[in-house]
């Protein structure tokens, strides 16, 4: 555990010879357990969803008809492993285990773990947000007992039946259930006057919005904008929750609205996107709009993800699920979508902090003329991104041009400046999502009463949002 801790947190483990943990050690270990548990929860849910919908070439966590073991393991036992998904080194290790050439107490379990790792690494190319390269601690801490009837995979299959996997929103419902215990703990703490700390904000405020509410919000924002621009559109026929704007007897139909010449122009943001329920329904409505405008069906999914939909989130796991949900929406419409290497515009806000004197040295190297007062302020605005989230209003306005200039500077030979350079670019990319540039903003804001807010959040709101309720 100490070695794993060192790799993750960049610090040496402080364990004594008899493995007694200090308070800091226990806290870090708890963070590690929670992070890895989330990672594997997301991956197993994603693999099961893709299995059921046959987006995978072979069942990775699901058995073939009439079998119990995952299809990919059953095939491997018969000598078949997809060369395109599992590299030669892993294939040889798996076959050696299954043939008894490599001693093992449980060769099938070990072989299956290697198969899962290989498949996750394969999907890294199409979905790096969900399937980070597996190495070190995530592989070491993969759940045990994946093949028994009481394993996490057995429970995943039981929950994610084929009928509920017809809609990707099942992922959001599962995630809300997953964090429900932590949410209960946070609210128990509130009764004892414990404030909600930044790391607990997601659990305390994460709420999966029912589908009819999502439809009402999206149809009366995106749908309304389109109907104002295309009064003869047949989109209204599929919007059951759309409320047609009343016509003023004196002034006639509404005339003060944003003019849209093509669907590619429309930019939609959910600034607290959770697992992406608002965005996935917006995808459905946008798809109908593009179709009505005569776009090529095979190109529509990529265009929607590139041009139209943007999500912001402070919960890393929920943000991954939102990106996955949009990818599944696109794949459902376009069989070859995975080959296009198009990633959803989901920004998980990260804390970005600069040490004393760090920016000064970097600015001297890049050139101080570029670092205007608004830019310098913006770089400091994400020090508590996990606390303030999309409430942050960046000072800088010319984000894209600044990023373009900085990306053109070569800092590869400057080891210490390279780290600062990466943090500056990350801060600006986050600022780009939070700059005011959207035609439609749709959100179910996180609910938190003033009594539960930590001191820093309360001060921030009083300073920047004095009239909030």
* CA dihedral of residues 131, 134, 137, 141 (deg, nearest 10): 70
β-strands 268-270, 345-348 pairing? unpaired
Distance, in Å, from the CA atom of 362 to the CA atom of 418, rounded to the nearest integer, reads 9
Residue 261: which residues within 8 A CB-CB, separation 6 or more? none
Q: Residues 9, 13, 19, 20: is their CA dihedral positive or negative? A: negative
- Do residues 338 and 362 both lie within one domain? no
Specify if 453 maps to a domain: no
* Domain closes at, from 126, 145, 162: 162
Specify if 282 maps to a domain: yes
**Percent of the chain at pLDDT exceeding 90:** 60
- Exposed (0-12), middle (13-18) or buried (19+): which is 458, by Cβ within 10 Å? middle
Element (H, E) at 440: strand 440-441
* Domain closes at, from 314, 330, 348: 348
Q: What is the pLDDT of residue 441?
A: 96
Name which of 116-130, 190-204, 292-306 the model is least confident about: 190-204
- Do residues 393 and 419 both lie within one domain? yes
Q: What is the pLDDT of residue 411?
A: 87
Structurally, the chain folds into a number of domains equal to 3
Statement: residue 15 has pLDDT above 60: no
Distance, in Å, from the CA atom of 91 to the CA atom of 89, rounded to the nearest integer, reads 5
- Do residues 17 and 129 both lie within one domain? yes
User: Taking the model in full, what pTM does it have?
Assistant: 0.89
Specify if 75 maps to a domain: yes
Q: What is the pLDDT of residue 12?
A: 44
Element (H, E) at 318: helix 316-333
Q: What is the pLDDT of residue 14?
A: 43
End-to-end CA distance of the chain: 45
The pLDDT tens digits of the residues spanning 392-441 come to 999 998 899 999 999 998 888 887 899 999 999 999 999 999 987 899 99
Distance, in Å, from the CA atom of 54 to the CA atom of 282, rounded to the nearest integer, reads 24
Statement: residue 252 has pLDDT above 70: no
- Do residues 323 and 223 both lie within one domain? yes
Name 248's bridge partners. Answer: 252
- Do residues 10 and 98 both lie within one domain? yes
Distance, in Å, from the CA atom of 95 to the CA atom of 334, rounded to the nearest integer, reads 35
Specify if 452 maps to a domain: no
Statement: residue 127 has pLDDT above 90: yes
Q: Residues 432, 436, 438, 441: is their CA dihedral positive or negative? A: positive
- Do residues 324 and 380 both lie within one domain? no
- Do residues 341 and 363 both lie within one domain? no
Average pLDDT estimate for 262-277: 95
- Give the CA distances from residue 284 to residues 73, 241, 274, 280, 333, in Å, rounded to whole numbers and listed in that order: 36, 15, 18, 7, 10
Specify if 30 maps to a domain: yes
- Exposed (0-12), middle (13-18) or buried (19+): which is 447, by Cβ within 10 Å? exposed
- Do residues 259 and 155 both lie within one domain? no
Q: Contact at 8 Å (CB) between 367 and 411? A: no
The pLDDT tens digits of the residues spanning 197-246 come to 888 888 888 777 888 999 999 999 999 999 999 999 999 999 999 998 87
- Give the residue numbers spanning the domain of 427: 358-445
- Do residues 287 and 243 both lie within one domain? yes
- Do residues 158 and 258 both lie within one domain? no
Distance, in Å, from the CA atom of 172 to the CA atom of 169, rounded to the nearest integer, reads 5
Q: Contact at 8 Å (CB) between 340 and 300? A: no
Helices (H), ranges, 82-144: 88-98, 107-123, 137-140
Statement: residue 266 has pLDDT above 80: yes
- DSSP states of 287-304: HHHHHHTT--GGGHHHHI
Q: What is the pLDDT of residue 165?
A: 94
Specify if 451 maps to a domain: no
Specify if 457 maps to a domain: no
Which of 280, 168, 173 lies closest to 217 in space, CA to CA? 280
- Do residues 273 and 400 both lie within one domain? no
* Domain closes at, from 98, 130, 162: 162
Specify if 260 maps to a domain: yes
- Do residues 107 and 46 both lie within one domain? yes
């Amino acid at each position: 555990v100490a070695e794993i801790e060192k790799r993750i947190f960049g610090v040496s483990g402080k364990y004594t010879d008899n493995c007694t943990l200090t308070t800091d050690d226990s806290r870090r270990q708890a963070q590690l357990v929670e992070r890895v548990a989330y990672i594997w929860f997301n991956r197993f849910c994603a693999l099961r969803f893709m299995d059921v919908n046959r987006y995978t070439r072979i069942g990775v966590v699901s058995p073939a008809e009439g079998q119990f073991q995952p299809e990919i393991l059953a095939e491997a036992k018969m000598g078949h492993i997809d060369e395109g998904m599992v590299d030669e080194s892993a294939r040889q290790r798996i076959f050696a285990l299954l043939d008894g050439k490599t001693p093992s107490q449980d060769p099938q379990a070990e072989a299956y773990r290697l198969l899962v790792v290989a498949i996750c690494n394969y999907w890294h190319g199409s979905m790096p947000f969900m399937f980070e390269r597996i190495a070190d601690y995530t592989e070491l801490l993969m759940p045990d007992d994946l093949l028994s009837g009481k394993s996490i995979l057995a429970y995943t299959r039981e929950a994610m039946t084929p009928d509920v996997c017809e809609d990707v929103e099942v992922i959001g419902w599962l995630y809300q259930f997953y964090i429900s215990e932590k949410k209960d703990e946070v609210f128990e703490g509130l009764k004892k006057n414990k404030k909600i700390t930044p790391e607990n904000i997601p659990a305390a405020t994460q709420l999966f919005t029912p589908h009819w509410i999502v439809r009402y919000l999206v149809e009366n924002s995106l749908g309304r904008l389109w109907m104002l621009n295309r009064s003869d559109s047949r989109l209204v026929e599929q919007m059951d929750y759309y409320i047609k704007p009343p016509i003023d007897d004196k002034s006639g139909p509404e005339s003060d609205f944003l003019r849209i010449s093509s669907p590619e122009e429309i930019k939609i943001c959910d600034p607290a996107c959770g697992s992406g329920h608002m965005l996935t329904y917006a995808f459905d409505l946008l798809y109908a709009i593009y179709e009505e405008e005569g776009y090529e069906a095979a190109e529509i999914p990529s265009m929607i993800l590139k041009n139209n939909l943007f999500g912001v989130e402070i919960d890393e796991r929920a943000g991954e699920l939102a990106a996955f949900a949009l990818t599944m929406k696109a794949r459902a419409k376009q069989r070859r979508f995975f080959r296009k290497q198009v990633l959803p515009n989901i920004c998980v806000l990260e804390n970005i902090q600069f040490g004393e004197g760090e920016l000064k040295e970097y600015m001297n190297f890049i050139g101080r003329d570029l670092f205007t007062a608004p830019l310098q302020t913006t770089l400091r605005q994400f020090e508590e991104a996990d606390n303030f989230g999309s409430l942050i209003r960046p000072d800088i306005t010319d984000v894209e041009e600044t990023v373009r200039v900085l990306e053109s500077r070569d800092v590869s030979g400057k080891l210490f400046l390279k780290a600062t350079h990466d943090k500056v670019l990350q801060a600006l990319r986050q600022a780009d999502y939070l700059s005011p540039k959207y035609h439609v903003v749709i959100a179910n804001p996180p609910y938190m009463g003033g009594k539960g807010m930590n001191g820093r959040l309360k001060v921030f709101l009083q300073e920047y949002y004095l009239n909030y309720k």
